[in-house]
Structure formats: structure tokens, C-alpha cells
Amino acid sequence: MLPRIAFTPGEPAGIGPDLAIRMAQQDWQAQLCVIADAELLTQRAKQLGLPLTLQPYNAAAKSTANPPGSLSIIHTPLEAPVVAGELNPANGSYVVQTLHRASEGNLNGEFDAVVTGPVHKGVINQAGIAFSGHTEYFAQQANCNDVVMLLATEGLRVALVTTHIPLAYVAKAITRERLEMVLRIIHDDFRQKWNIQQPRMIICGLNPHAGEGGHLGREELDVINPTLQQLRLEGMNLVGPLPADTLFQPKYLEQADVVVAMYHDQGLPVLKYKGFGNAVNITLGLPFIRTSVDHGTALDLAGKSEVNDGSCRLAIATAIDMVNATRS
């Protein structure tokens, strides 16, 4: 059976609905099941001048590829009418309902993966719903305490030990326990979701020159090195810690399955320079496959024809590849 992929467009006033419609024009070896308001997609397709046929979703039917120009639809009604480019907090609960349906379907095995379009966290919170992001929401739904953020583009994957915290807090957040947890999740997910049985991980140092023997900081000596050594004894393939300013070169990357950066702006500027608009966000540690676009809602482009859909295409292709790898 072909992979059955849930797709949540996210913020209805943004480019998420546009992306869903554009993805419908592609020939995927998967069944794309969009969780959204049917009339929203129909109206937006007319606005974009693109053909769209919405086929009612049947969970009991065999998963088959959608004909070009069509999507399987799990109709989720809006709370209020949508104007492209104009946020409305009344639809905050609608967005969360689509995520709940996708999460529920992935947890019970109905779907093989979920691909998420961009949400606007601020407007969801304005609706009175505590929401800090897709990652945290899916982790809570799956009862996962720990997840890892990984971004990927052609030829490079970067996972993060810490994510959205102030730079002043990073050093204290990198403990042996956290680093070990992150590396175990990466190791296990590469084995389970990519079928890479011995993933080679290149580890960034935290400090300039990876601490230069303790002269530029002791985190490498006190935290990072002991943790890596412990995990190497268990059989993990870990290289480093290496200075982050010199490891992003073919000498290291050609042999790497993933680079592990200590903080957000250590690894992601390199990845986004290499593949901005053609990168995918992947959440590791969940009991299901979740990929996402690497950009925001782009309200100014909603309903227009200038949207770059490269990240969305890659997110779907990556999810399909991961599903197929888990089956091999």
C-alpha cells in the first residue's frame, strides 16, 4: 500500500492552503489527505486559477495515489470566513482541531506520517489557546517528554541540542543528561525512520575552537567529551566535538549522516544559506513521522502566484521516503 500522508495547511489566511493546492498538482506516490475546510480550499484554488478536485476521505479504503489536481479531504469547518492575508483569532481553534485530527490519526496508525504547513502561534494564543508550536503540541499529544528538532536540505542535516532559548542560557542548558538524550533520540530515529543502522554524527563544540583545551571554555572537557565517550562505548558512531567554524566542509560532511549543533544559530545559518526555501523541518523522538515546511505563514503572498513551494515539496517527499524506509 502507498503511504497515507496527513497534511495540515496551518493558518488559513496564510500560504498553507495555497501549498496544499499546489501539492495537489503533483504526481505523488502516496495518498495526500488534507485536513482543512473544503470551501476554503475550493475558493483559494479559484483565486490561484488552479484546478482542484476534493475527494471525500475514506479511512477504510486502500490508500491510492491522488490523480493530479486532486486531494483527499477530511473536512474540518472554519469558525469564521477567511480573507487571504488577514489573520482572525476566531479561527485559532480551527487550526488546533486540524492538528488534533492529524495527531490522532498518526497515533492510531491510520496515517503513516503528517506534513504540516505554517501556523501563526500569536493568533492561536489570541484565541485563548495556550500554544507554543507544532513540535510541542505533537509531543504533548503523544505523551513524549523529549523531542529533537532537525532541519535538512540536499546534502546536509542539522539537529539541535537546544532550540529556542536565549543565547545567555545555552551553556547551562547543555548538560550531560540533555546531550545524551538528544544523541540517543537521533541515533534511534535514524535507525527506525531512515533505516540507517549506524548513523555517523558529527558533533559541534560549544565554544570557539571547541574550547581549545579548556582555554576558551570548559564545556567540551566537562560535559561534551565525557558524554560522547560514554556513548561511543555503547557503539554509537560519534565524531568530535569539532570547531563549528570549520566542520561544515566536504571533508567531514561527505561522511556524515547528521551534524549535531549545540544551539539554534550555530548550525541553522549554514543550512539555510545552503538550502533556504528548499529545506525541511523534521521532529525526531515522536512515535510517528512528522515533517514540516521551513518557513512561516507569508501572509502577504497568500492567494497570489509568487509562492515558492520547494520546502513543501521536500517535506512531502521526505515523509514518503521515511515511511518507505520504515517498511524496508
* Phi, psi (degrees; rounded to nearest 5) at 291: -120, 165
pLDDT tens, residue by residue, 34-85: 999 999 999 999 999 999 999 999 999 999 999 999 999 999 999 999 999 9
- Tell me: is residue 272 an annotated ligand-binding position: yes
- Tell me: is residue 215 an annotated ligand-binding position: no
Q: What is the pLDDT of residue 132?
A: 83
- Tell me: is residue 295 an annotated ligand-binding position: no
Q: How far is CA 29 from CA 32, 66, 279, in A?
A: 9, 8, 20
Q: What is the pLDDT of residue 300?
A: 92
pLDDT tens, residue by residue, 273-308: 998 888 999 999 999 999 999 888 999 999 998 888
HSE of 158 in the Cβ direction (CA atoms, 13 Å)? 28
Q: Confidence band (pLDDT; 50, 70, 90) for 164? A: confident
HSE of 213 in the Cβ direction (CA atoms, 13 Å)? 0
Nearest Cα to Cα of residue 256 among 311, 186, 207, 307: 186
- Tell me: is residue 135 an annotated ligand-binding position: yes
Q: What is the pLDDT of residue 328?
A: 80
Q: Percent of the chain beyond pLDDT 90?
A: 90
pLDDT tens, residue by residue, 204-261: 999 999 989 999 999 999 999 999 999 999 999 999 999 999 999 999 999 899 999 9
Q: What is the pLDDT of residue 204?
A: 97
Q: What is the pLDDT of residue 308?
A: 87
DSSP for 12-71, please give it.
Answer: TTTTHHHHHHHHHTS--SSEEEEEE-HHHHHHHHHHHT---EEEEP-TTSPP-PPPTTEE
pLDDT tens, residue by residue, 1-25: 899 999 999 999 999 999 999 999 9
Q: Confidence band (pLDDT; 50, 70, 90) for 96? A: very high
CA 306, distance to chain mean position in Å, is: 23
In CATH, which of 3.30.470.20, 1.10.10.10, 3.30.830.10, 3.40.718.10 is domain 148-272? Answer: 3.40.718.10
Q: What is the pLDDT of residue 51?
A: 96
d(CA 320, CA 328): 13
Numbered ranges of CATH 3.40.718.10 in the chain: 4-144+286-326, 148-272
> What global pTM score does this model have?
0.91
Cβ contact 91:67 at 8 Å: no
Check pLDDT > 90 for residue 124: yes
DSSP for 211-259, please give it.
Answer: GGGGTT-SHIIIIIHHHHHHHHHTT-EEEEEE-HHHHSSHHHHTT-SEE
Q: Confidence band (pLDDT; 50, 70, 90) for 197? A: very high
Q: Which three cell numbers stand for residue 274?
A: 545552503
- Tell me: is residue 264 an annotated ligand-binding position: yes
- Tell me: is residue 88 an annotated ligand-binding position: no
Q: 153-176 as b/e, with b when 16 or more CB fall inside 10 Å?
A: beebbbbbbbeeeeeeebbeebee
Check pLDDT > 90 for residue 28: yes
- Tell me: is residue 75 an annotated ligand-binding position: no
Average pLDDT, the chain: 94
CATH 1.10.10.10 fits 4-144+286-326, yes or no: no
- Tell me: is residue 232 an annotated ligand-binding position: no
Sort strands 258-261 and 70-75 into parallel, antiparallel or unpaired.
unpaired
Q: Confidence band (pLDDT; 50, 70, 90) for 311? A: very high
Flag the least confident range among 76-90, 126-140, 168-182: 126-140
Q: Confidence band (pLDDT; 50, 70, 90) for 140? A: very high
Q: Confidence band (pLDDT; 50, 70, 90) for 117? A: very high
Check pLDDT > 90 for residue 135: no
